[in-house]
Amino acid sequence: MNEKKLSLDEWHIMKSQALKALEKFSQSQVLVVGDIGIDEYVKGEVKRISPEAPVPVLNVEQTESRLGLAANVAQNITSLGGSCELVSVVGEDKSALDLKKIFNECGIEKLSLVVDDSRPTTKKTRVIHEAHHIVRIDYEKKEFISPAIEKQVFQSFESKIEQASVVVIEDYNKGIFTENLIQKIIKKSKEVGKLVLVDPHETTPLSFYKGADIITPNTQESFALLNISRDSILDKSITPLLLAQKMMKELGSERMIITQGKDGVSIFENNQWLQLPTLAKQVYDVTGAGDTVIATLALGLSSGLSLPESCLLANYAAGLVVAKVGSVPCSLEDLRASLAEQK
């Protein structure tokens, strides 16, 4: 596999194509299946240490709830002008009601939420002083869903697949994705000719994703998926190319991307390795950046862009959201402005 370098002319052509594709986002319908939850932010000021224990005391000034996990993918798709169908599982609790209220406020109406009364709706509460996280509190159950709930999830997916432009599997390892469910989703998608993108989780066996068209791990996830020690990340002989070749062989895939934070993104396709630099001007919080990447990638590919062109768009979108605190979706207006602004 040869490493390809983009010329300045090629870069401008890709940007031009990406800009034109934004107008087609409204014609795209992305079917997202994945773990969803609430991202809650408790913000305030710390002025003293508790007399009860050596911990800071936060005077709460603001509490805010946002869509998290795969729900943030759906919000990014909607915010970028696309249409999204979301299939997931929630508990029978107050957090599920709160989640539906946030969906309604965000204008996301195409929901197929299977209720499982044996588990809580996932919720992550982040306690923040200025831009610094003090602690995170998770409400969740990671055990796999039961066969009965799995059947309902697949039936919901199956009823939506024909209308979809592309399928996104968003795995946050909260229990929705058994190997059987993922493989049934991939098989059905292939039967009806739909592209399958996977945002993997590092603790899920790579074999669960076999047959997917494109996976989008970051570097750390790539090492974990291949059962390579984290200590080896500093080993220069283990290149993104080596990681990609091993993963593509096991998956039976011919293309994939590896996101690399400040080092940009590596794209592997047509026996070529293309490296795109990061486009973030400043980084405050990487929370939700992967959600933005796969949402933009799905919209780009379903709008007729090539994989490199779609990745360029995703790179611009991710560069915008990491400059903000918390899980924040990228808007179509901001993405268009960013593309037009940068030379």
pLDDT score at 202: 96
End-to-end CA distance of the chain: 29
Q: What is the pLDDT of residues 293-323, one digit of tens each?
A: 999 999 999 999 999 999 999 988 988 887 6
**Is the predicted pLDDT of residue 91 greater than 70, yes or no?**
yes
pLDDT score at 321: 82
Who has greater pLDDT, 288 or 280? Answer: 288
The count of other CB atoms within 10 Å of the CB of residue 32 is 31
Residue 106 domain flag: yes
**Is the predicted pLDDT of residue 285 greater than 60, yes or no?**
no
Residue 62 domain flag: no
Active-site residue, selected from the candidate residues 138, 231, 291, 334: 291
Lowest mean pLDDT among 90-104, 257-271, 279-293, 305-319: 279-293
Query: Which pLDDT band, with edges at 50, 70 and 90, does 4 fall under?
Result: confident
pLDDT score at 264: 83
115: which strand partners?
90
Averaged pLDDT of the chain:
91
Percent of the chain with pLDDT over 90: 75
* Number of compact structural domains in the chain: 1
Rounded Cα distance between 168 and 215, Å, is 10
> What's the pTM?
0.92
Residue 44 domain flag: no
Lowest mean pLDDT among 7-16, 161-170, 308-317: 7-16
Torsion of CA 204, 205, 208, 213, to 10 degrees: 90
**Is the predicted pLDDT of residue 51 greater than 70, yes or no?**
yes
Rounded mean pLDDT of 144-160? 97
Read off the CATH number of the domain in which 113 is found: 3.40.1190.20
**Is the predicted pLDDT of residue 283 greater than 60, yes or no?**
no
Residue 239 domain flag: yes
**Is the predicted pLDDT of residue 234 greater than 80, yes or no?**
no
- Told to judge if 9 belongs to the known catalytic residues of this protein, a careful annotator would answer no
Structure tokens at 151: 């059947």
pLDDT score at 327: 66
Query: Which pLDDT band, with edges at 50, 70 and 90, does 279 fall under?
Result: low
Judged by DSSP in three states, 57 sits in strand
Residue 300 domain flag: yes
pLDDT score at 125: 96
Percent of the chain with pLDDT over 70: 95
Of 266, 28, 34, the C-alpha closest to 166 is 28
Residue 50 domain flag: no
Rounded Cα distance between 297 and 30, Å, is 11
Domain that residue 278 falls in: 2-36+68-118+142-341
Residue 311 domain flag: yes
Lowest mean pLDDT among 6-20, 129-143, 168-182, 305-319: 6-20
Residue 9 domain flag: yes
